C-alpha cells in the first residue's frame, strides 16, 4: 500500500500513523490514560487481543464476563476513573448486561468494548451474533456501533467524554470484526462533536440564593447527600456547608462516606433500613435539600408520606432527576461540587433550628441500631462491628447484596469517602467479589474487605482465582447464614414464614473451596473464634477467605415495610 503523506506544514506537526483498528483502540486507550483493562477474549476480538499482547496496558482476565464488568465498577467506584472492559460478541457481550445495568443505575463511568461479527454478516444471525446495541440501549448512557475504522478514534474519545462528564454512566462501543482488522489513519487529535450533549455544570445563582433563603426561614431543615457528592469529590465542601448552615445530614446508601459518620450533625443512612433519626428527619422536615441523590424508592418509602410538609430543594447534574419522583420547589441543575462552592460563596446562614437539632440528637442517642448479642452465636451485626474494630474503620468495604449489605451499611461507620463499594440501584447479587477485585486493583495499597453473603458469593465465586493469580490481598468475609437472608426475612415478615426456596442447602465447604484456589481459608462459628480468625486474616499478607457462620434467623432492623412511609418503621427498638 502506497503511503502518501502530503508535505504540508500541518502534516509535519501531526502525522497520522497507519494502523489497524485494533492497534488504534490500544493507542486511543493509552491516550485516555487507561491503566487497566478488564476483559475476556473470543473470536470477534482476536485482533484486539493481538494488539493488547504487547500493547503495554495491563489486562485482567476474569473468569466470566460478569466478573470483568463488576471489577470495572469496583475500580471506577474507588478511583473515580472510568472502568474499561473488553468482551467478545454474542455471549461475551450479553454476559456484560447485568453489570452495565448496575453501572447505569449507580451512575458509574464505564467504557465497554464489545466485538461484533463482521459488518457484511450483521443481521444474518451469524455465529456469536447478538444485537448488543439494541440490547443495551436502555441500560447505557449512550452506545455506538463503529461502521468504519476511520470513525474509531473519534468514537472512543466521545465514549470516554460521555462516560465521565455530566452524570457519569456506562458507554458501550460495539466494534465489528472487520473494523478492528481494517487499516486506517489513526487520528489522535480526533475531535468530540456532540451538540446534543452539553451538561450544565455551573448552577444558576438565583436558584442557589433561593436555597439559602429557604435555609434561613427553616426551623426543621435536613440535608440529604447522595453519591453525586462523591462523584464531584465534594465531601469537604459538603461538610463546610453543613457546618456553616447548621444542617443535619442524612446519607443515601450510595452516599455513605460523603459525610463523616462521627460528625455531630450526621444522622446516618435514610430509607428502608436507615436509622430512626435519619428517617424522622426526612419525614418531619420543613426543608429538605437533596444534593446528588435521586430519591430512590428504597430511600423515600411510600412517596405519599415522604417529606410531606417540606419545601424541597433538589441539586442534581441530571435535570431529568429533578421532579421525577418528588415534586421540587427549588430546582438546581449543576454539579454537586460547583453548587456547594456557590452556596458557600453566597454565605450560608443557619435558620432557627437549634430545637430541631437537639431533638434529632436526642433521637440519635435514644434510638441507635440494636441487636441482641450472644456469646454462643455469632451475630452478623457483631461480626461487622468486629471488622470495623480490627480494621480501625479504615478499610475499603465492598459488599454484595442482601442482609449483610444492610448490616455493613449500619455497623461500619465510614469517616472517609470512596471506601464504600456496593450495588445500590440494581441490587445485583454476585457483584461483591469481582467489585472487590476491581477496588483492590484501583487502590493497591488500601485494605479491601469484601463482606459477602453466601448466596451472592456463589454467583461469582469463580473469581477467587484472580485473588491468587494477581496476588490481591482482598479479605473475603462470608456472612454465612445458609440462606438468601433478605428473601428469607421478607418471607418471614410478609409471606407467613413460607420459606419458598430461600434456604440454600448443600453449601460447599468454603474453607476447602478457598484452599482449592490456593487461598488460606478460616472458619468461625462464635464470637471468640471470629475475633481470633479475623485478626489472623488481617495479618495475612495476601488474600484470605473467612467463612463466618452467623445466626441463621437474624433479621435486619429497623425496617420500613414495603409500601409504607418512613414514619411507619418497625423494629426501631428491641
Partner 1 sequence: MNRILSVVVNNRSGVLNRITGLFLRRGFNIQSLTVGTSETEGQSRMTIVLDVDDERTAEQVIKQLHKQIDVLKVSDITDLPIVARELVLIRVNSPLQTRSELTALIEPFRASIIDVSRDTVTIQAVGSPEKVDALIFLLHPYGIKELARTGLTAFVRGNDVASEAPRPYRNRVLSI
How far is Cα 486 from Cα 471, in angstroms, rounded to an integer?
Answer: 32
Cα 385 to the chain's mean position, in Å?
23
319 binds partner 1 (CB under 8 A): yes
For residue 558, is the peptide bond before it cis, meaning its omega torsion is within 30 degrees of 0? yes
The single-letter DSSP state of residue 324 is T
Encoded one letter per residue, x for contact with partner 1 by CB under 8 A and - for no contact, window 146-165 reads ----------------x---
If the CB atoms of residues 163 and 467 are measured against partner 1, the closer one turns out to be: 163
DSSP symbols for 147-160: -SGGGHHHHHHHHH
Q: Interface with partner 1 includes 497 (CB under 8 A)?
A: no
Backbone angles phi, psi at 248, to 5 degrees: -70, 145
Among 5, 11, 137, 183, binds partner 1 (CB under 8 A): 137
Q: Residue 290: in which H helix or E strand, if any?
A: strand 287-291
What's the rounded Cα separation, in Å, for the pair 393 and 230? 19
Q: Which of 429, 486, 559, 569 is catalytic?
A: 486
Helix (H, G, I), strand (E, B) or coil at 112: strand
- Which 422-461 residues touch partner 1, going by CB under 8 A? none
Distance CA 238, CA 348 (A): 12
Q: Does 204 engage in binding with partner 1 (CB under 8 A)?
A: no
* 177 part of the active site: yes
Q: Could you say which of 324, 468, 525, 567 contacts partner 1 (CB under 8 A)? A: 324
Query: Taking CB under 8 A as the rule, does residue 97 contact partner 1?
Result: no
Find the shortest distance in angstroms from Cβ 162 to partner 1.
7
Q: Is 574 in the site for partner 1 (CB under 8 A)?
A: no
Query: Helices (DSSP H) in 232-270: which residue ranges?
Result: 235-245
Size of the site for partner 1 (CB under 8 A): 19
Q: What does the alpha-carbon distance between residue 217 and residue 240 come to, in Å, rounded to a whole number?
A: 20
Closest CA to 383 of 452, 326, 486, 440: 452
Which CB, 41 or 176, lies closer to partner 1?
Answer: 176
Kindly tell me which of 167 and 388 has the beta carbon lying closer to partner 1: 167
Catalytic, 127? Answer yes
CB 434 within 8 A of CB 448: no
From the list 27, 65, 129, 463, the catalytic residue is 65
**For residue 478, which of 518, 445, 507 has the smallest C-alpha distance?**
507
Of the pair 195, 541, the CB lying nearest partner 1 is at 195
Q: Shortest gap between Cβ of 280 and partner 1 (angstroms)? A: 28
Q: Check residue 296 for interaction with partner 1 (CB under 8 A).
A: no
Least distance (Å) between residue 218 CB and partner 1: 25
Terminal alpha carbon distance of the chain: 79
Task: List binders of partner 1 among 459-488 (CB under 8 A).
Answer: none
Min dist CB 142 to partner 1, Å, is 5
Binding-site member from 194, 217, 358, 570 for partner 1 (CB under 8 A): 194
Show which residues are catalytic.
65, 127-128, 177, 486
What is the contact surface with partner 1 in residues (CB under 8 A)? 133-134, 137-138, 141-142, 145, 162, 194-197, 318-320, 322-324, 327
Amino acid at each position: 500500500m502506497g503511503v502518501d503523506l502530503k508535505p504540508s506544514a500541518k502534516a509535519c506537526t501531526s502525522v497520522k500513523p497507519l494502523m489497524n483498528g485494533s492497534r488504534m483502540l490500544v493507542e486511543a486507550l493509552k491516550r485516555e490514560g487507561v491503566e487497566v483493562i478488564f476483559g475476556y477474549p473470543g473470536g470477534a476480538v482476536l485482533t484486539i487481543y493481538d494488539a493488547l499482547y504487547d500493547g503495554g496496558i495491563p489486562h485482567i482476565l476474569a473468569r466470566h464476563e460478569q466478573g470483568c464488568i463488576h471489577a470495572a465498577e469496583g475500580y471506577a467506584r474507588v478511583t473515580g476513573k472510568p472502568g474499561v472492559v473488553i468482551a467478545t460478541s454474542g455471549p461475551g457481550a450479553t454476559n456484560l448486561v447485568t453489570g452495565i445495568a448496575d453501572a447505569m443505575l449507580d451512575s458509574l463511568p464505564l467504557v465497554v468494548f464489545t466485538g461484533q461479527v463482521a459488518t457484511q454478516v450483521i443481521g444474518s444471525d451469524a455465529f456469536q451474533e447478538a444485537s448488543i446495541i439494541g440490547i443495551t440501549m436502555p441500560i447505557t448512557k449512550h452506545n455506538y456501533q463503529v461502521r468504519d475504522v476511520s470513525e474509531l478514534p473519534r468514537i472512543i474519545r466521545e465514549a470516554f467524554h460521555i462516560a465521565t462528564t455530566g452524570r457519569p454512566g456506562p458507554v458501550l462501543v460495539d466494534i465489528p470484526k472487520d473494523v478492528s482488522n481494517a487499516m486506517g489513519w489513526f487520528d489522535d487529535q480526533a475531535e468530540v462533536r456532540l451538540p446534543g450533549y452539553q451538561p450544565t455544570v455551573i448552577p444558576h445563582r438565583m436558584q442557589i440564593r433561593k436555597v439559602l433563603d429557604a435555609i434561613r426561614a427553616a426551623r426543621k431543615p435536613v440535608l440529604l447527600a447522595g453519591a453525586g457528592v462523591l462523584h464531584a469529590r465534594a465531601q469537604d465542601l459538603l461538610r463546610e456547608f453543613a457546618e456553616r448552615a447548621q444542617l443535619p445530614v442524612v446519607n443515601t446508601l450510595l452516599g455513605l462516606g460523603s459525610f463523616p459518620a462521627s460528625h455531630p450533625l450526621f444522622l446516618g443512612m435514610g430509607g428502608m433500613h436507615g436509622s430512626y433519626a435519619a428517617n424522622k428527619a426526612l419525614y418531619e422536615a420543613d426543608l429538605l435539600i437533596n444534593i446528588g441523590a435521586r430519591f430512590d424508592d428504597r430511600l423515600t418509602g411510600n412517596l405519599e408520606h415522604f417529606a410531606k410538609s417540606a419545601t424541597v430543594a433538589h441539586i442534581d447534574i441530571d435535570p431529568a432527576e429533578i421532579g421525577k419522583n418528588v415534586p421540587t420547589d427549588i430546582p438546581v441543575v449543576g454539579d454537586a461540587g460547583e453548587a456547594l462552592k456557590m452556596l458557600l460563596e453566597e454565605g450560608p446562614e443557619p435558620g432557627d433550628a437549634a430545637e430541631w437539632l437537639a431533638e434529632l440528637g436526642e433521637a440519635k442517642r435514644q434510638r441507635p441500631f440494636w441487636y441482641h448479642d450472644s456469646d454462643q452465636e455469632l451475630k452478623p451485626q457483631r461480626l461487622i462491628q468486629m471488622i470495623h474494630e480490627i480494621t480501625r474503620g479504615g478499610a475499603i468495604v465492598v459488599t454484595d447484596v442482601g442482609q449483610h449489605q444492610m448490616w455493613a451499611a449500619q455497623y461500619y461507620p465510614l469517616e472517609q469517602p470512596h471506601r464504600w463499594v456496593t450495588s445500590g440501584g440494581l441490587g445485583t447479587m454476585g457483584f461483591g467479589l469481582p467489585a472487590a477485585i476491581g477496588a483492590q486493583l484501583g487502590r493497591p495499597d488500601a485494605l479491601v474487605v469484601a463482606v459477602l453473603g453466601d448466596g451472592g458469593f456463589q454467583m461469582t465465586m469463580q473469581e477467587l482465582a484472580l485473588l491468587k493469580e494477581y496476588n490481591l490481598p482482598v479479605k473475603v468475609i462470608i456472612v454465612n447464614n445458609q440462606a438468601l437472608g433478605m428473601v428469607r426475612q421478607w418471607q418471614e415478615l410478609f409471606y407467613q414464614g413460607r420459606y419458598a426456596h430461600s434456604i440454600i442447602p448443600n453449601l460447599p465447604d468454603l474453607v476447602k473451596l478457598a484452599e482449592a484456589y490456593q487461598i488460606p481459608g478460616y472458619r468461625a462459628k462464635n464470637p471468640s473464634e471470629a475475633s481470633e480468625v479475623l485478626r489472623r486474616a488481617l495479618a495475612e499478607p495476601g488474600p484470605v477467605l473467612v467463612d463466618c457462620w452467623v445466626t441463621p434467623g437474624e433479621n435486619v432492623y429497623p425496617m420500613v415495610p414495603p409500601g409504607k412511609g418512613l414514619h411507619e418503621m418497625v423494629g426501631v427498638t428491641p
